Amino acid sequence: MSGAAVNLIEGDPWQATQEDLSPDYDYPGDGENIQRFDWSFGPVMNVGYLDLDTLEITVNPMYMGISAGTLTGNLRDGVKLNISYHLGKGTQHWYLKNGNQLWTHVDFSVSFNGSYQGAYKIFSL
């Protein structure tokens, strides 16, 4: 079962607030040739970094506020994720375009809120 981190406080009325989830990885140290990114589109959020020397990507994608975990891979091969949540389904693909740009292709549908689709540039290397 997956879900979101919620802080529940007893009272009148009770309070339930969703907590921000920090990525479950550490950024590389200073001096590394690293580009961080924080990108979002509708219910899709991506926080991560790219090693500009090796093109290794580390990304924590979130869909409707629910973290999919930490993905790693090389942009030369691309990194693909299939998402199958109770209320949202789709795919996301991160890849290198034009040899110097980080792009993502999103195709994600939320059962109560429509579809989010398209290819988007996150940043130029």
Tens digits of residue pLDDT in 73-88? 999 999 999 999 989 9
Q: Determine the average pLDDT of the residues in 49-76.
A: 93
Which of the four pLDDT bands, split at 50, 70 and 90, describes residue 3? low
Does the residue 27 lie in any domain? yes
- Residue appearing with tokens 């580009």: 35
Which phi and psi (to 5°) does residue 121 adopt?
Answer: -80, 130
Q: Are 70 and 58 in contact (CB under 8 A)?
A: yes
Which phi and psi (to 5°) does residue 33 adopt?
Answer: -85, 75
Q: Are 102 and 75 in contact (CB under 8 A)?
A: yes
Does the residue 1 lie in any domain? no
pTM of the model: 0.81
Report the CATH number at residue 33: 2.40.128
Residues of the domain holding 87: 22-124
Count how many domains the chain has: 1
Does the residue 103 lie in any domain? yes
Q: Is the pLDDT of residue 28 over 60?
A: yes
- Smallest Cα–Cα separation from 41: which of 123, 112, 115? 115
Does the residue 8 lie in any domain? no
- Smallest Cα–Cα separation from 21: which of 44, 47, 56? 47
Q: Are 105 and 97 in contact (CB under 8 A)?
A: no
Distances from the Cα of 6 to the Cα of 9, 39, 66, 123, angstroms: 10, 23, 11, 32
Q: Rounded to whole angstroms, how far apart are CA atoms 28 and 19?
A: 25
